[in-house]
Structure formats: C-alpha cells, structure tokens
Structure 1
Amino acid sequence: MTQFILDRKFLFLLVPYLILYIVAARNPLMWDTIQFASDQPSWYYDHNFRYFLLPDYCDSGHPPTFALYLASVWKVLGKSLWVCHTAMLPFVFMIVFQAVKLGDRIFPEDKKKAFLCSLLLLSEAVLITQTSLVSPDILVIAFFLYTLNAILGRSALHTTIAATLLGLFSMRTMMVSMGLFLFALSYNWAQVSKDRKPLFRYLLQQVLPFVPGGLIAMAYFGYHYAVKGWIGLNPQGPWAGGYQHWAGVGGFLRNLVVLAWRLVDIGKIGMVLVFGIMLLSWAMGRIRFATVTQKKMAQNLLVLFLALLAVLALPLCLYDSLLVHRYIMPFTISVSLLAIYLLLNSQVKAKNGIVIAVVLIQLSGHFWNYPRQYSQGWDGTLAHLPFFSLRAEFKQYMADHDIPKSEVATAFSLIKSDRIIDLKGDTTGYKDVYKDSTEYIWYSNVSNTMNKTVDYYFKNWQVIKYEKKGHVEMALFKRK
C-alpha cells in the first residue's frame, strides 16, 4: 500500500486536490453543508453526545454518522472551519487513492489507459467542488469507490467493511449499496455453475457482505420510528416539500428531462456524448474486444450503470426537487466508467485525444453560467468561490453603516447566523425574505431561491450596494 501511495499517478492526481484544500480550508459553510456540517454536529457537540437522535429542526432522516464524526473531531481539535475542512482531507485522499486503484483494476493490462480512466473520474466538476466543501458526499464517494474496488478485487472482507461504511450515511447510500450488490452478482457470476444448489450458495455468498450495513440501517430506522413516529421523511424538516409530494406521471416524465440535463450539466456533456456514441457502436457490433475478459468487464459495467439507474437515479424522479447534482454522483461515475471503457477498447482513432478533450470539457463546467432566473448547481462548480469574499464584504458594509440584522431579510445560504455559517461570532441571524417585512433585502444569485423574484427589487427598491465577481452577484436593496 505504501508503494501505491508513492505512485506517481496518485501523487500527480492528488496535487490539485491538495491545492484546492489550501484555497478553501477556511471558507464558510454554504448550501446543505450548513445543516450537515453545522446544525447537526453542533447539537452533539453542545450537548456532549448526551442524545443520540437529532432534534426535528435539523433531523433530515438520515443516520447522523457524518454529524457524529465532525462533532468528535471538534472535541479533539476544536470547533472551527479549518478543522471541518481538514476533517474531510482523509476522505479526499481516499477518493484519489480508490480512483487510481479503480483505473488499474479496470485496465490491468495498460497503465496509460488506467491513468486516463482515473483522470476522467477525478476531473468531474461536481466531485471536485464537493471536495472543497464540508460535505458528507465526500465520504459517500470515497466509500462507493472503495466498495466497487473491493468487489472487483473479489475480497469478501473489504466488501463487507466498505458496504457497511457506505450504508451508515444516508438512504441514498443504501440505494447505492443495492446497486453495488447487483453489480457484484453480475461480476462474480462466472464462478457459479448452473445447478440449483450452488446457485443458492452463490447468492448467499454475494449478499452476506451487504448484510451488516443493512442490519445497522434497519436498527437505526426502527429505533428512530419508535421514538419519533416517522422514517426518512421529516414532515417538519427544511426539505419536506421535496420528499412529501409525488411528482405524478407528468412530473416523473418532466423529471426524466431534468435528469438528462443533470447528466450533461456543468461540463459533463462531452462524457455523455462519448457514452451515447460508444454504447450505440457497441450495440451495432462495431466494438470488438480483444479478449473475453474485456467483453465481460464491459457487460459488468453496463450492469452497474443499469443498476444505479434503476435504484438511484429513477427513484429520485418520483419526487419533486430531488434531482440535485451531488445526489447522482455514483450514477454519473458509472456512466463515465462505461464510456471510457468502451472508448479505449474501440477501434476509434485518437482515443487519447478524445479523453483529454472530455477532461477539458468537464473542467470547463466551472465556467458554465445561466441567466439569473434559472437555478444553478452552485455546490457543483467552483464558480461559487467568490461568494465567500462577497459575503464578508457585504457584512462589513452593513456593520460600517449601522444596518442591524433585524432590518435585513435574505434567503438560503445567507440567512443563518455567523455562529452557524462561520462556526463563531454572533448568534443572531437575518430575517426571512418570504415571511418578514424589513427595510433592507440582501440578495445573492448563489441562493437560487430569490432568482425568479429579484428583478422586482431591482426595479422597485433602491440598490445601495451591488457587486459581481465572476458569475456571483450580490446586492443590498433598500426600500424607496
């Protein structure tokens, strides 16, 4: 393992992530990380782990493993933004480590192809951006890749450990575990004979590594239901609207279009085009694999794609407002794996150049921007980085001009107090722009929720401060 860590591929691919860590190590919390990395762990930290279940105001229904981890780190190293970001660093290392290992497992015969595979996985904009945040999805992807590698390595021990870790974080990761189980059934199928008795033993052998994680999840949800009377869907939580309303047939079809857009958004369009063209070429018999092993690997990666489509991506289309970029990262990884495997085993010329082009297109996702009235996946692009300096600038402006928080209304990502977002300072938050009448309105397009109504304020309120850095806008309005 030490030799692998010192491998030049690993070090080369790790360096950009380390640079990003240095840049972002003291950035405040934003978007969903405000709840997952502040509200929830603060409950455990402030109450010294006296209670196991979270209070309803910040209970998202998922197992609180991430919150417990962060609160434990705070107890040892202190509660600060730097500690939060540093607590993510081991799992960033793990993502790079497992991505490099995955390339070697899928392309054991060719080091260049293995490197290109790892490069493609690690250059995806949403993944890069998530590693700059204090996000539970960093751990999710680390354990997803670990489980996938354990299955490819046919290690029952590592599959058990990895699948158990994967099952500790959220309902989505449990869905991902089911997809990986189906992949394991396919990948190891060559080892079983066709008679009934070995088949039963085979099925039992494949399911056993996933049992501990399933039992832990069942125990948690059972206890949670016994105490609170609900499982998974918090009727009083901030995201209740997204989970409580079925999309219906029309909404499901509309969400399929949204899912398709999420797959090509933020720079992924190049990878999806390669995926579609290569899959069509394979179906038409234009891809001829050099060995039976390569053909079986392609078939197994197709199973992984279909499994995650069925158990992760499509179920999210059943509800309103759940097709978030970070939610489908395991699925998009399966798309990338199948796309690059088919491409590098095809007879297409300039394959290396195509991969590099796709990588560059993925990186271009950090520069994608939409008109103001359209919501944007800011936690999937580094274009959000100027938001932090603008927030600090506007807070200082309001302090210098004696504008009290009680007279400022705003929305998501700005509304919480400094103690929640910066983990220090004032405990007073701002007013809710949708509920409270105030003298001032504080807007940023990163908040998304105000983007469709902000034109009204530009037209009817006085703009006393406006700044734009990169794609990030921020404005302070005053009643005329």
Structure 2
Amino acid sequence: MNLKITYCFKTPIVQKSIPFIIGLFIFYISKNHFFFWDTISQISIPANWYLDNNFKSFWIPDYSSTGHLPFLPLYVAAGWSLFGKSILITNLLFLPFIIGTIYQLKSLSEKIFPDRISFQNLALLLVLLDATLLSQLSMITPDIPHMFFYILAINAILSNKKSLFFIACTLMGLVSMRGTITVGGLAIFYLWYQIYSNKLRIRELLPLFYSILIISSIYGLHYISKGWIIHNINSDNWTSSSKFAPFPLVIKNIIVFFWQLADYGRIILWAICGFTFLKQLKTRSSVDNKTAILMVLIISQTIIWFPITVAYQNAFGHRYFLPIIVLLPYLTLLVIRSYLNQKKILTAICIIALIGGYFIVYPKKTAQGWDATPAHWPYYSLRKEMINYIDDQSIDKNSISSFFPNLASSYNIDLDTENTFKFNQFDKEKSQYVFYSNVYNMSDEAIDLLFYSNSFSKKHVIKKGQIYVILFERDLEPGTTPPEP
C-alpha cells in the first residue's frame, strides 16, 4: 500500500500539479488580504488613479509616483475594468504569478536535483517555508511577478533558452525598480555563466543586451516626460530616498542588511553553508558545478544590492533581498546532500529554523519587517474587527489617528467605495482616539505616550496569535493605563 502511494506521488501528473495545488492553497488563505505596507503606494493608489481617470495618461502624476514603472498598476487597473474592483479580484489577478512562481521554483529544484524526486520536493518545501517569500506570496505585491520572472530567467539561462531569457529579463525589469536592479545582478551571473560554459560570444550576449536596451529606453521615456527617474524630485513624499546616508547611517545600514538576510531563521541556513565552505577551503577542495552556480547567483545579487541599499537614507526591507533569500534553501540543501553527514538531522534543523522564524516578534521599540513574515496575517481580520467595533460605538473614524501603513484612505487599502474614511496622522497633543497595532513601526516617543504615560487608556483590545490591535482613548484626567496585552 505504501509503495503504491509513493509511486502515485512520484508520477509526472502529480508532480506537475504540486505548484497548482500549493498556489491555490496560498490564494485561499490570503484571498481577503487587503493592500498592506508599501503595496498601497506602489499598486493601489496608481491603479485607482488609472481607473478613476479612464486611463487618460500612461504616466502617473508626480504626487502619486513612487518611481516604479507603471506597468503593474496598469495591469491591475485593466483587470478591475474587466472583472470589477475588489480585494478578491485583485488577489485573483496575482494568482497566475503565485502559481507561476511556485512552478518555476519546482523546475529549478528539478535542475538542481535531477535524480531524486524526494530532494526536488524537499528543496521546494524549504524555499516555500521561508517567512519572507511565503509572506510576499500571500500579499498583493510587485514582488510576486518579480520572483516569477526572476526564477523563470534563471531556468532559461540553465536551459539555454535565449528567447525565454530575453522575455523574462525584460518583464522583470519593467515590473518594479527592484526588478530592474535584479536584472543588474542577473547580468553579472549571465556573463560569468557564459565564460564558465565557454560560450562567451556576441550572439550569446544579444538577449541580455536587447533586454537592457528596452528597459533603459522606457526609463529614458519616463525621464523625457517627467524630468526625473528613480527618485521623485517633484514630491516631498520620498525626499530621503535620493539622499546619500551619512557614515553612521551607512554602518547601521550594513548591520541591517546582514540582519535581514539572516532574519526569521535563515541564520541557521547561512551557518550551515558557511561551515561547509570553510571546510572546503581548509581542505583546498573545490565545489561541484551546481554549488558554484548557486553561489555565483547569490554573490552577483549581493554585489548589486549591497551598495544600493546601504548608501542611501531610504529605508529598505527584507523583500528587497528576495533574489538572494530565495536561493539560500537550494544552496543549503545541496551542500547538506553533497558535503555533510547527518543529512536528515541537518535538514530537520533547517525546517524547524524556518518555521520557527514565523514566531519571531521583536519588542515594540524595535522596527520589524512585518510584510516579510506570516506573523502579520492575523492583522487583516483584526483590523476589520476593530473597525466594526468603532462603527458599533458610533465613533467618527475620520477623527481617529493611526500610523503607517494604516494612514491611507480605505479607498486605497480596502478598495472601499461606499463608506470611505481615512485615519489621521498621530498628534501627541490633539489625537482623541488612536488606532494602534504592534505591526506599526512607530517612534519611541509615541510608544511611551500610549503605553507608559497617563495620557491614554485602552478603550478596546483584540488579539490573535502574536498580533494585537488597540483603540486608545485620551484621558481627559490622569488615569492608569491597563496592563499590556
């Protein structure tokens, strides 16, 4: 009986259906996830602008433009115009990219472990267990198509499919600025791979050249039309993004860069890889071809992403480094299989470490990349529950203060067109009610005022898992703040 089940599981039709099944499952649990974090400004606001203005212009007005090319918001707005505008429809629009990403990850697993189906599925499991990738797959975000085209491009290179590489590379560069930057890292790898394979000829470089030419041309058209590219100089919303960081901030950014790569349990995977490579260096042993390819892929992306992120004042998050993060589980499993003993124990440790990363929640005064962990998932239902409570209490929502990312209009967060409201920026002197959640990264001053002073008391608290939402009310007279949840 067990042999029959194992045989059925290994049949091609079952293996091909795995990405489809997993993708549908992720969609099912996230189908009601509204716009969260930077996706509000990167997708919802420009997509709403296109639809509200009947697609009157290709370029988004400067007051709404984050610097990303507008193709993804255009895709979303076009989907809304065809199928209707709702959170469910928006998540459906991203479902092909979710399934496509998982399919490409499965294909990469098959290339790395062609002789063992069990290792192919184990590699896919390790990749999908990563907190940052799984969290992004559950969101409406540019990083889903970004990862789809990225892994598709890698598979095209390894399969020597030049036309497919050209298409994937070009579309990745047009999805978002992060996609454009990733093209730079992929270009480094592509050149190395051609040299490594003894195929470095002009003809082999044409797909990369044409891809970069098209991407550059569209950015050039943006500059001709708007007078700027990348950094929006005509808006005060993103002024810090174009400023170089002073030396102390550069040091801090370097620490944050490596912390985010190691965060959510990945430190264990890096440690296993690091130990293995030190061992290889000591014995002066070389690594096999597949290990070398994965190493160069990771190094080439690091070469691009490291200086770009640490040199500027612009805040960066875990999702920026998905081109590095998504390859780490493959490399770890490959070195465990090829160079280390205790393979089952080490693999189990990796699985436990990655799942354990879901439960990492930092103290209130420590900023956390909430969009990079499934720990934030309860927030979607908790926010709706608190809004229902506010309605039941007949509190004017427009008189309530809150924090990023809960400051955008419900028109852009929830796609609410009937009872639109917008919370105000927190004012320590004037705010009467404050909508707070521990997924908001706030100043220490605001935290102290809400939790550790007599200025506010907790009117209503709801909690699920490690996430909680609190409605604070200003005390007209000094009082005692109830215990923290």
The TM-score normalised by the length of structure 2 is 0.89
1:74 matched to 2:80: yes
Q: 2:210 aligns with which of 209, 212, 217?
A: 212
Q: Distance in 2 between matches of 1:297 and 1:402?
A: 62
AA at the equivalent of 1:269: I
Q: Paired residue for 1:306, among 299, 316, 319?
A: 299
- What residue identity is the alignment partner of 2:30? A
In structure 2, relative to structure 1, the CA distance for the partners of 1:100 and 1:187 (3 Å cut) is same
Query: Where in structure 2 are the equivalents of 1:307-386 lying within 5 Å?
Result: 307-346=300-339, 348-386=340-378
Q: Report the Cα offset of residue 76 of structure 1.
A: 1.3
Q: Which residue of 1 aligns with 2:266?
A: 268
Letter in 1 for 2:468: E
Paired residues of 1:243 and 1:319 also in contact (CA < 8 A) = yes
Mapped pair 1:393 → 2:385: yes
Match of 1:154 in 2: 160
For 1:336 and 1:20, the matched residues in 2 are separated by 20
The whole-number CA distance in structure 2 between the counterparts of 1:175 and 1:47 is 30
Q: CA deviation at 1:69?
A: 0.9
SS at match of 2:27: helix
Structure 1 distance, partners of 2:276, 2:356, is 22
Identity %: 30
Question: Is structure 2 residue 447 aligned with structure 1 residue 441?
Answer: no
Of the structure 1 ranges 152-161 and 18-27, higher mean CA displacement relative to structure 2 is found in 18-27
Q: Give 1:417's match in structure 2, choosing from 409, 413, 417.
A: 409
Residue 40 of structure 1 and its aligned partner are, at CA, apart by 1.1
Residue 342 of structure 1: SS of its match in structure 2? Answer: helix
Q: What CA distance in whole angstroms lies between the structure 2 residues aligned with 1:342 and 1:400?
A: 57
Counterpart Cα distance in 2 of 1:344 and 1:239: 49
Distance 1:438 1:249, change over 3 A: closer
- Matching residue's letter, 2:470: A
> C-alpha separation between the residues in 1 aligned to 2:423 and 2:258?
37
**Is the 8 Å Cα contact of residues 405 and 429 (structure 1) preserved in structure 2?**
yes
**1:272-291 alignment to 2 at 5 Å?**
272-285=270-283
Cα distance change, pair 238–286 in 1 and its aligned pair in 2 (3 A): farther
What's 1:42 paired with?
Answer: 48
Give the aligned partner of residue 55 of structure 1: 61
User: What's 2:482 paired with?
Assistant: none
The match for 1:466 is 461
Tell me, what secondary structure is at the counterpart of 1:446?
coil
State how far apart, in whole Å, the 1-side matches of 2:201 and 2:426 are: 55
Amino acid at match of 2:459: I
Q: Which amino acid aligns with 1:36?
A: Q
Of residues 111, 119, 124 in structure 1, which corresponds to 2:117?
Answer: 111
Further displaced range: 159-168 or 215-224: 215-224
Larger mean Cα displacement after TM superposition, 228-237 or 304-313: 228-237
Structure 1 position 208, deviation (Å): 1.4
In structure 2, the residue matched to 1:235 is 233
Give the Cα separation in 2 of the matches to 1:248 and 1:219. 32
**Which 10-residue stretch deviates more, 103-112 or 306-315?**
103-112
Pairing 1:119-130 to 2, within 5 Å after superposition: 119-130=125-136
Q: What TM-score comes out, normalization by structure 1 length?
A: 0.90
Deviation at 1:30, TM superposition (A): 1.2
Corresponding residue to 1:100 among 97, 103, 106: 106
**For structure 2, which runs of at least 5 residues remain unmatched after alignment?**
1-9, 476-485
For 1:408 and 1:376, the matched residues in 2 are separated by 24
1:188 is matched by which residue type in structure 2? Q
User: Given the alignment, which residue of 241, 244, 264 partners 2:242?
Assistant: 244
- Whole-angstrom CA distance in 1 between matches of 2:34 and 2:53: 23
1:315 is aligned with what amino acid?
I
Query: What 5-or-longer segments of structure 1 have no aligned partner?
Result: 194-201, 290-294
Please give the alpha-carbon distance, in whole angstroms, between the structure 2 residues aligned to 1:465 and 1:137: 35
The answer for the alignment partner of 2:183 in structure 1 is: 177
Listed one character per residue, the Cα deviations across residues 19-61 of structure 1 (whole Å, up to 9, x for unaligned) are: 2311210222211121233101111111221111111222111
Q: CA offsets per residue over residues 355-399 of structure 1, 9 Å max, x none?
A: 232123112222111111111111111111221222112212222
Q: Distance in 1 between matches of 2:403 and 2:234?
A: 18
SS at match of 1:476: strand
Q: Deviations over 1:219-251 (max 9, x none)?
A: 222222222221111135576144123123332
Distance 1:14 1:266, change over 3 A: farther
Q: Which whole-Å CA distance do the structure 2 matches of 1:368 and 1:134 have between them? A: 23
Post-superposition Cα deviations, 1:58-98, rounded to whole Å, max 9, x if no partner, equal: 21111111101111111111100001111111111111111
Tell me the number of residue pairs that the alignment of Structure 1 and Structure 2 aligns: 464
- Tell me the CA shift for residue 113 of structure 1: 3.0
The 3 A distance-change label for structure 1 pair 440 and 191 is closer
Q: Which residue of 1 aligns with 2:149?
A: 143
1:186 to 192, 198, 202: 192
* Residue identity opposite 2:208 in structure 1: F
Letter paired with 1:274:
I
